[in-house]
Amino acid sequence: MTTFVALLRAVNVSGQNGIPMAELRASMAASGYDDVRTYLQSGNIVFAAAAAAEQELAAEIHQLIAREFGHDVKALVLTAAELARVAAANPFLPAARDTAAVERFSHATFLEEPAPEAAFAGLALPAQPGEQAMLAAGGRVIYLHLPHGYGRTKLNTGYFERRLGAAATTRNWRTVLALVEMSAR
């Protein structure tokens, strides 16, 4: 069995795509996934499954949510090992003197499809002073440093989806670290 992390796109946000996490856990367990756990109410799932391609698992979870809850919700799936590598590779960590600031100001935008380096480099990022965005992890993750907060930036999920043509979902750094910890058990 392999441990995976599924990141659901736009679940329980502003009253949209409401999915009770207890019911989601039960539905996934009934569908054959093992050790299903969720973190927060925003669609973060840790589970074990027989080794399978992440895209296949994402499609299965998408279909399960459509069937059980009536929502068209994208799922991005990574192995626990991949998520741990994403957390360890945060380019803003080495420069940080205050790790609490990294947790407060860092986010990761996960892309369903890898973005070509040239496409990302060609973006005219609408960054405010102090904001930074870096593409890494084979083009699947955009690391964000947002000292003014995610709610105030234009470097949000919608921006990257429109500009790069790939579905995406963003997590704050505390959530990334919590999911790494959960998936390591």
Both 44 and 124 in a single domain?
Answer: no
> What are the phi and psi torsion angles at 27 (to 5°)?
-65, -40
pLDDT in tens, 113-129: 999 999 999 999 999 99
Q: Averaged over 135-150, what is the pLDDT? A: 93
User: 100 and 178: one domain?
Assistant: yes
Same domain, 37 and 113: no
Clarify whether residues 94 and 36 are in a common domain. Answer: no
Enclosing domain of residue 69: 2-82
Domain count, the chain: 2
Q: Is residue 164 located within the same domain as residue 90? A: yes
Claim to verify: residue 88 and residue 174 sit in the same structural domain: yes
| Rg, the chain, Cα only | 16
- Taking phi over 0 as left and psi of -120 to 50 as alpha, with beta for the rest, 142 belongs to beta
User: In the predicted model, is pLDDT for residue 12 greater than 80?
Assistant: no
Q: What percent of the chain has pLDDT over 90?
A: 77
Contacts for 153 with CB less than 8 Å, ≥ 6 apart: 127, 128, 131, 144, 146
Residues 6+ apart with CB under 8 A from 152: 128, 146
State the Cα–Cα distance between residues 66 and 60, nearest whole angstrom. 10
39: domain CATH number? 3.30.70.1280
Whole-number Cα distances in Å, 21 to 11, 13, 15, 69, 82: 10, 13, 14, 11, 24
**Structure-model confidence comparison of residues 35 and 95, the more confident one:** 35
Q: State the pLDDT confidence band at 94, using cuts at 50, 70 and 90.
A: low
Residues 54, 118, single domain; the answer is no
Q: How far is CA 119 from the centre of its chain?
A: 21
Which of the pair, 35 or 20, is modelled with greater confidence? 35
Q: Are residues 88 and 20 in the same domain?
A: no
Same domain, 78 and 116: no
Query: Are residues 75 and 158 part of one domain?
Result: no
Among 82, 98, 118, identify where a domain stops: 82
Average pLDDT over residues 12-18: 66
97 shares a domain with 180: yes
pLDDT at 59 > cutoff 70: yes
Q: Which residues contact 36 (CB under 8 A, 6 or more apart)?
A: 25, 28, 29, 45, 46, 47
Q: At what angle do helices 21-30 and 54-69 cross, to 10 degrees?
A: 120
What is the average pLDDT across 22-50? 93
Report pLDDT for 52.
Answer: 82
Poorest-pLDDT segment among 20-24, 61-65, 89-93, 130-134: 89-93
175 and 92 in one domain?
Answer: yes
